Amino acid sequence: MDLILVAVIALGAIGLIAAIVLFVASKKFAVFEDPRIAQVAEVLPQANCGGCGYPGCSGFAGACVKAADAGSLEGKLCPVGGAPVMEKVAAILGLEAVASEPKVAVVRCNGSCENRPRIVQYDGAVSCRVAHATCGGETLCSFGCLGCGDCVKACQFGAIKMNPETGLPEVDEAKCTACGACAKACPRMIIQIRKKGRVVKESHRRVWVSCVNKDKGALAGKACKVSCIGCSKCAKVCKKEAITIENNLAYIDPEKCIACGLCVNECPKKAIHATWEVPVPKPKPAPAEGVAPVQQAAPKAAPAAAQQVQQ
């Protein structure tokens, strides 16, 4: 009996002393963390993708709080959550959300098996980075997609899939968060994060050059049916000076482009892609600007309108 009592008292005493030490230590060495960081982290999607440029969601939360103390959330965007999440973050921090344009990953190569004939077979490790370092690829084009799917592996959101028919990756616009992981994974810098573009009839409109081949026109043309040959026809037709030609390759500046679609049909190689069907103009059409609004207003009627013009 005595023994038990001694043990209880002894343990109780040790417990009490330890509790006091711990209490004092927790008060003395307390690290102050802004409670807002935890609050902000809570509304973030916890994907920890790094697409915002910070190490994980808690890192981003910390950066947001710091930015809020400086006065503005400008430049801070969670690509996964997008505007709704940023509004919540802004509300917690007592600020106005800075509107930023939604973006999406765009694949700038259209060298499908049909367009770009295979001349050799690559049988090394299934990795674009390895293939890029070992050889120019299976075709004559040493700039285009290698088709080993590093971008698919890099995507955490299942937004990129390989199309087995074309051998090219395809981006699911609904799932893509524009975190940029695929663009970083691609050794040939084929994938680019671009603005989603203006909304017409509930779909985004954007235009891009679907080729990154910098070879001279004749060589690029030989390698692929739909390669950019740097003829600069698109640059001449563009009214906003959004298209530049560098190293035999056209580039459309998303900041300047208004997605009018003029260049799409001008391209002799069909290397310029648009997310919507651009009506083919007559050889000498009425001012193209006139055609575009008709199409915007009623896309279904557009082919009919085009036919009328032809008649």
Partner 1 sequence: MKTFRIGGVHPAENKLSAGKPIVVAELPKQAVFPLSQHIGAPAVACVAKGDVVKVGTKIAEAGGFVSAPIFSSVSGKVNKIDSIVDASGYRKPAIFIDVQGDEWEETIDRSETLVKECDLDAKAIVEKIKNAGVVGMGGACFPCHVKLSPPPGMVPTCVIVNAVECEPYLTADHQLMLEHPEEILVGVQLVMKAVNVTKGYIGIENNKLDAIKLMTEKAVQFPGIEVVPLKVKYPQGGEKQLIDAVIGRQVPAPPALPVSVGAILQNVGTMYAIYQAVMKNKPLFERVVTVTGKSLANPQNFLARMGTPMQQLIDACGGLPEDTGKVIGGGPMMGKALMNTEVPICKGSSGVLIMNMTEAKRAEADPCIRCAKCVSACPMGLEPYLLSTCSAKADWERVEKEDIVSCIECGSCQFTCPSHRPLLDMIRLGKSTVMGIIRARSAKK
Residue 218 near partner 1 by CB under 8 A: no
Q: Which of 11, 38, 135, 218 binds partner 1 (CB under 8 A)?
A: 135
- Cα–Cα dist 298/293, whole Å: 9
**Pair 229, 210: CB distance under 8 Å:** no
Q: Compute the least distance from the CB of residue 51 to partner 1, in Å.
A: 17
Q: How far is the CB of 185 from partner 1 (least distance, A)?
A: 9
3 state DSSP class of 16: helix
Minimum CB separation from partner 1 for residue 126, in Å? Answer: 8
Stretch that binds partner 1, among 24-32, 63-71, 129-137, 297-305 (CB under 8 A): 129-137
- Tell which residue, 209, 202, 157, has the closest CA to residue 182: 157
Q: Are 53 and 64 in contact (CB under 8 A)?
A: no
Environment class of 204 (CB within 10 Å of its CB; exposed 0-12, middle 13-18, buried 19+): middle
Characterize the bridge pairing of strands 207-209 and 272-274: antiparallel
Cβ distance to partner 1 smaller for residue 179 or 252: 179
Pick from 13, 120, 286, 297 the residue near partner 1 by CB under 8 A. 120
127 versus 244: smaller Cβ distance to partner 1: 127
**Does position 217 bind partner 1 by CB under 8 A?**
no
| Contact region with partner 1 (CB under 8 A), list: 25-33, 66-74, 83-91, 119-127 | 119-127
Residue 156: what residue type? Q
Instruction: Assess 84 for contact with partner 1 (CB under 8 A).
Output: no
User: Which residue of 52, 215, 220, 224 would you call a contact of partner 1, by CB under 8 A?
Assistant: 215
Scanning 36-44, 89-97, 136-144, 156-164 for contacts with partner 1 by CB under 8 A, the matching segment is 136-144
- Total residues binding partner 1 (CB under 8 A): 17
Residue 207 DSSP one-character state: E
Residue 204, beta-bridge partner list: 199
Per-residue b or e along 133-152, where b marks 16 or more CB atoms closer than 10 Å to that residue's CB: eeebbbbbbbbbbbbbbbbb
Residue of 12, 124, 290, 303 that binds partner 1 (CB under 8 A): 124
Stretch that binds partner 1, among 35-43, 121-129, 230-238, 273-281 (CB under 8 A): 121-129
Question: Which one of 127, 156, 244, 296 is in contact with partner 1 (CB under 8 A)?
Answer: 127
* Segments in the chain forming alpha helices (H): 2-28, 35-43, 56-70, 82-92, 128-134, 150-154, 181-185, 217-223, 233-237, 262-266, 288-297, 302-310
Stretch that binds partner 1, among 21-29, 33-41, 132-140, 228-236 (CB under 8 A): 132-140
Distance CA 294, CA 5 (A): 94
For CA atoms 256, 238, 265, 306, give the dihedral sign.
positive
Q: Which of residues 18, 23, 25, 134 is near partner 1 by CB under 8 A?
A: 134
* Residue 24 in contact with partner 1, rule: CB under 8 A: no
| Residue 149 makes contact with partner 1 by CB under 8 A | no
For residue 3, give every residue at least 6 positions away whose Cβ sits within 8 Å of its Cβ, in sequence order, or none: none
Question: Could you list the residues that contact partner 1 (CB under 8 A)?
Answer: 119-120, 123-125, 127, 129-130, 133-137, 140, 142, 215, 219
